[in-house]
Amino acid sequence: MELSEHLADAALKALLYEVDVQPKPGLVDPVDHLTHLDMDVFTFIDSAVSLQPYLKEFAQAGIDFQGDDLRDLFKIIRPIGIKAEKAMFLATENINTHKGAIFSLGILLAASGYDQNNISSVTQEMLQGLTENDFKDLDKKQNLSNGERMYLKYGVTGIRGEAQDGYPIVFDNSLPYLKSQSGNDFNNILLDTLMVIISQSYDSNVVKRGNMDALKNVQKFAQEILNVGGCGNLAGKKVLNDLNNYCNENNLSLGGSADLLIVTIFLSLI
């Protein structure tokens, strides 16, 4: 199997694994989607399958890149990302299932194709100046994205900042955690990995639907789950249920954290 196919297959698996993990608070899974009533597991499967050719394109762009400035590689993959988003919206009847995942997987597929041994540092070089460029003159811009609104209101750089820094939450925390786990209950391992992410990430989806207090609350819930031993024991399941109820009652989405789980799974598979 050629490298681009291997990387694309790992990315597709990551998209499918993530949606199958359950119960995921504030997210779509096979048994619950109360905070996302316009979509279900099948919407996510349709979306993931529609992205397959573009996942390979992202990887191939990294493999083929021979320039001196890795920022040019990011310029090359941005149009691929736009094509992928169009395919997603066509497959889902205009529902945003994977826009954030397309952004992060696109970057990391290209970085992996370019140099699989230095993915984080390659990503940092690719994205030099990203937040400065994307967030300048926002006060004059109309039709702001969720991330742009969060930056203006709270100064939070969101997934752009995480990406520009080389995904430290993933490389320093969730990926080592996932790789350190063993056992047969892969669902609970991935749930606990998600809790590692939620406990540390500034998920702009939570802030968008709630506020900074809501973000702090979900972080505390996730950390408590880890403190009592994870989602696999009774104490962890109780707190997980409390977090799920909190998200449902407040209509909170943890979509940004889900995207980082997808990224973590992808990197663990390559």
Place of tokens 């430290």: 168
- Give tens-digit pLDDT for 22-59: 999 999 999 877 777 789 999 999 999 999 999 999 99
Q: According to DSSP H, which parts of 69-211 are helical?
A: 71-92, 99-114, 119-126, 130-134, 146-154, 158-164, 168-169, 175-180, 186-200, 204-209
Region of 183 (left: φ > 0; alpha: ψ -120 to 50; beta: rest) is left
3-127+152-269 CATH, one of 2.40.70, 1.10.10, 1.10.4200, 1.10.1200:
1.10.4200
CA distances from 170 to 18, 57, 126, 220 (A): 15, 23, 17, 19
CA dihedral angle for residue 257, residue 259, residue 263, residue 266, rounded to 10 degrees: 120
CA distances from 151 to 124, 125, 211, 219 (A): 20, 22, 13, 19
User: What are the b/e assignments for 88-111, b being 16+ CB within 10 Å?
Assistant: bbebbeebebbbbbbbbbbbbbbb
How far apart, in whole angstroms, are the C-alpha atoms of residue 97 and residue 265?
Answer: 17
The answer to whether 106 and 58 are in contact (CB under 8 A) is yes
Q: Residue 111 carries which side chain, given as an amino acid letter?
A: A
How far apart, in whole angstroms, are the C-alpha atoms of residue 244 and residue 39?
Answer: 18
User: What are the b/e assignments for 220-236, b being 16+ CB within 10 Å?
Assistant: ebbbbbbebebbeeeeb
Task: Give me the tens of pLDDT residue by residue for the chain, a chain 270 residues long.
Answer: 799 999 999 999 999 999 999 999 999 999 877 777 789 999 999 999 999 999 999 999 999 999 999 999 999 999 999 999 999 999 999 999 999 999 999 999 999 999 999 999 999 999 999 998 888 878 778 888 878 888 888 888 889 999 999 999 999 999 999 999 988 899 999 999 999 999 999 998 899 899 999 999 999 999 999 999 999 999 999 999 999 999 999 999 999 999 999 999 999 999
Contacts of 251 (CB under 8 A, 6+ apart): 35, 209
pTM (two decimals) = 0.95
